[in-house]
Amino acid sequence: MAEYDVDLFVIGAGSGGTRAARIAAGHGARVMIAEEDRIGGTCVIRGCVPKKLFVYASRFTEDFEDAAGFGWTLPAKPSFDWPTLRDAVANEVTRLSGLYRKGLEGAKAEIREERAVIEGPHEVRLQKSGQLVRARHILVATGGWPSFDPPIPGGELGISSNEVFHLPVLPKRMLVVGGGYIALEFASLFARLGVAVTLLHRGDNILRGFDEDIRTRLRDALKEAGITFRLGCTVERIEELPDGSRRAHCATGAPIEADVVLVATGRRPNTKGLGLEKVGAELGPLGEVVVDAASTSSVPSIHAVGDVTNRVNLTPVAIREGHAFADTVFGNKPWTVDHGIIASAVFTTPEVGTVGLSEEQALAAGHELRVFESNFRPMKATISGRHERIYMKLVVDAKTDKMLGVHILGHDAGEIIQATAIAVTMGATKADFDRTVALHPSAAEELVTMRTPRAG
Ligand code: NDP
């Protein structure tokens, strides 16, 4: 009898796990992958993909308004039907989940649709069938889960980003608790769909860790888009009112009521009950699997990739980590993921795109800086009459001329920053940006036409 049933057992068929399974199988490994929910994971099922489709829907509001300036007359006030959007998005999610399944099947990875728990350094127990699988390597790719920690009394009256995609009706009033990616993206899109949104955040500004100028300008733009901000508000309690609506109490100020409370106070690595502690795998303070650069845990046969390791919690990072792991362990092609320069976007309207260091981070790291800024009205806003600005900031090391960070707030910031990230990853200098010929007329051309550093 063979020593192991499979070469690789992957727990979790999200972005990282699926990539690892497919690549490992391509290298000839016998692979089994278990998923207790739907195949595709957070990004496909209840994250990036359905969220971005909602964001597209929310931006039509602006397009309809702007069209008049360009000569269009719309027949009547456009109306929006929530169930149509919700169900179309759900169908697309089902289609994508099917593609993920096909990809795994095509790679000849054996799929088990049930929960799997680790019982030994090389043993995994499938919970529904009871089957014990002996694996040469185990990969934990179970992602994260919304965290209500510490629990708010009445927090169960709120929903998380898991449920927000399935709301039976579009609420009239929504409270959003938190000031990070998820809170802001949903606050922004629901406000544009006509919901009266109030954002309750414990900090004095949103998006902690982002460049200060971006944080403040985004907050102001979202206020202008109709979102009410209650900053410095720690939610102490949520209660249900006789009519079914919710009332949230902040530590200070008047309580506030709404039909739905979306709690977006972060996510935690999904390791509870997985058996990792029992086999001696080290977990960090949030329950994350502690891994080395090769994504191996303190137990040599157990590895982990993606949000469950709480390194950089972004889908493309999980995919890379899964790919690197599979190439290294099964393909005899060792490589590791560089977590240093990673672009990201916040899909609010206006959008944020950012890569590299913020001005504050660069200063804290001891760089002497030249900072370039551009704040302009996009061409489309001239005729549409929309009060809209695009803001761009370049953070440059004064001694080496190296581009340390690029930060954009405005239309297409995510698209622009992805391309800019190539230059920053390559170690581009400001002089490289300067000798790049502008593409006119575009917003992105501002990145290569800024010449005068900010004074002071
Ligand atoms: P974030 O960590 O981005 O934000 C959490 C927010 O909740 C912060 O504003 C934080 O405040 C606040 N918070 C945390 N704990 C509490 C608490 N106990 N009481 C009150 N407020 C609290 O998490 P998200 O849930 O928004 O997103 C999770 C991860 O998912 C992100 O880190 C990101 O990596 C990923 N993501 C990426 C997206 C993208 O790339 N566009 C989109 C959505 C998610 P404070 O700042 O004070 O700590």
**DSSP of 6-22, one letter per residue?**
EEEEEE--SHHHHHHHH
List, in sequence order, the alpha helices (H) in 107-211. 181-192
* Peptide bond before residue 146 is cis, with ω within 30 degrees of 0: no
CATH number, domain with residue 216: 3.50.50.60
Which pLDDT tens digit goes with each residue over 351-391?
A: 999 999 999 999 999 999 999 999 999 999 999 999 999 99
Yes or no: say if 391 and 374 are a contact pair by the CB < 8 Å rule. yes
- Determine whether the annotation assigns residue 391 to a binding site: no
Q: Is the pLDDT of residue 23 over 60?
A: yes
Partner residues linked to 407 by β-bridges = 354, 393
Q: Is the pLDDT of residue 150 over 90?
A: no
Q: Taking the chain, what is the end-to-end CA distance rounded to the nearest angstrom?
A: 73
Distance of CA 379 to the CA centre of its chain: 29
Q: What pLDDT score does 1 carry?
A: 52
Q: How far is the CA of 449 from the centre of ligand 1 (A)?
A: 34
**Same domain, residue pair 325 and 348:** no
Among 258, 277, 294, 273, residue whose Cα is nearest residue 127: 273
- Determine whether the annotation assigns residue 71 to a binding site: no
Q: Is the pLDDT of residue 345 over 60?
A: yes
Q: What b/e readout covers 151-171, taking b as 16+ CB neighbours within 10 angstroms?
A: ebebbebbbbbeebbebeebb
Q: Is the pLDDT of residue 442 over 70?
A: yes
Q: What pLDDT score does 260 carry?
A: 98
3-class SS string, 23-35: HHHHCCCCEEEEC
Strand locations in 60-218, DSSP E? 110-112, 116-120, 123-126, 132-140, 144-146, 173-177, 196-201
**Same domain, residue pair 261 and 282:** no
Query: Which residue is associated with the tokens 């900031």?
Result: 393
Q: Does a structural domain hold residue 336?
A: no
What number of other Cβ atoms are within 10 A of residue 243's Cβ? 7
Q: Which amino acid is at 188?
A: S
Q: What pLDDT score does 148 carry?
A: 83
**Same domain, residue pair 256 and 285:** no
Which pLDDT tens digit goes with each residue over 186-220?
A: 999 999 999 999 999 999 999 999 999 999 999 99
**Same domain, residue pair 177 and 282:** no
- Determine whether the annotation assigns residue 52 to a binding site: yes
Q: How far is the CA of 262 from the centre of ligand 1 (A)?
A: 13
**pTM of structure:** 0.97
Q: 75: domain range?
A: 6-145+268-330
- Percentage of the chain beyond pLDDT 70 is 100
The count of domains in the chain is 3
Residue 382, Cβ density class (10 Å: 0-12 exposed, 13-18 middle, ≥19 buried):
exposed
Q: Does a structural domain hold residue 456?
A: no
Alpha carbons within 13 angstroms on the beta-carbon side of residue 266 total 12
Q: What pLDDT score does 456 carry?
A: 73
Q: How far is the CA of 438 from the centre of ligand 1 (A)?
A: 36
Residue 218 has which token pair?
């985004």
Question: CA–CA separation, 291 vs 107, rounded Å?
Answer: 27
Partner residues linked to 207 by β-bridges = none
Q: Pick the atom of ligand 1 nearest to 414's CA.
A: 41
Question: How much is the mean pLDDT over the chain?
Answer: 97
The pLDDT of 68-86, averaged and rounded, is: 93
Q: Which amino acid is at 119?
A: E
Q: Pick the atom of ligand 1 nearest to 345's CA.
A: 41
**Same domain, residue pair 113 and 34:** yes
Q: Whose CA is nearest to atom 42 of ligand 1?
A: 181
Q: Whose CA is nearest to atom 30 of ligand 1?
A: 313
**Same domain, residue pair 141 and 272:** yes
Q: How far is the CA of 147 from the centre of ligand 1 (A)?
A: 9
- Determine whether the annotation assigns residue 183 to a binding site: yes
Residue 421 has which token pair?
């990230």
By annotation, the residues acting in catalysis are 440
**Same domain, residue pair 276 and 359:** no
Distance of CA 69 to the CA centre of its chain: 34
Which residue ranges have their beta carbon within 6 Å of ligand 1? Answer: 150, 178-183, 185, 201-203, 208, 264-267, 313-314, 344-347
Which pLDDT tens digit goes with each residue over 280-297?
A: 999 999 999 999 999 999
Q: Is the pLDDT of residue 329 over 90?
A: yes
> 61: left (phi > 0), else alpha (psi -120 to 50), else beta?
alpha
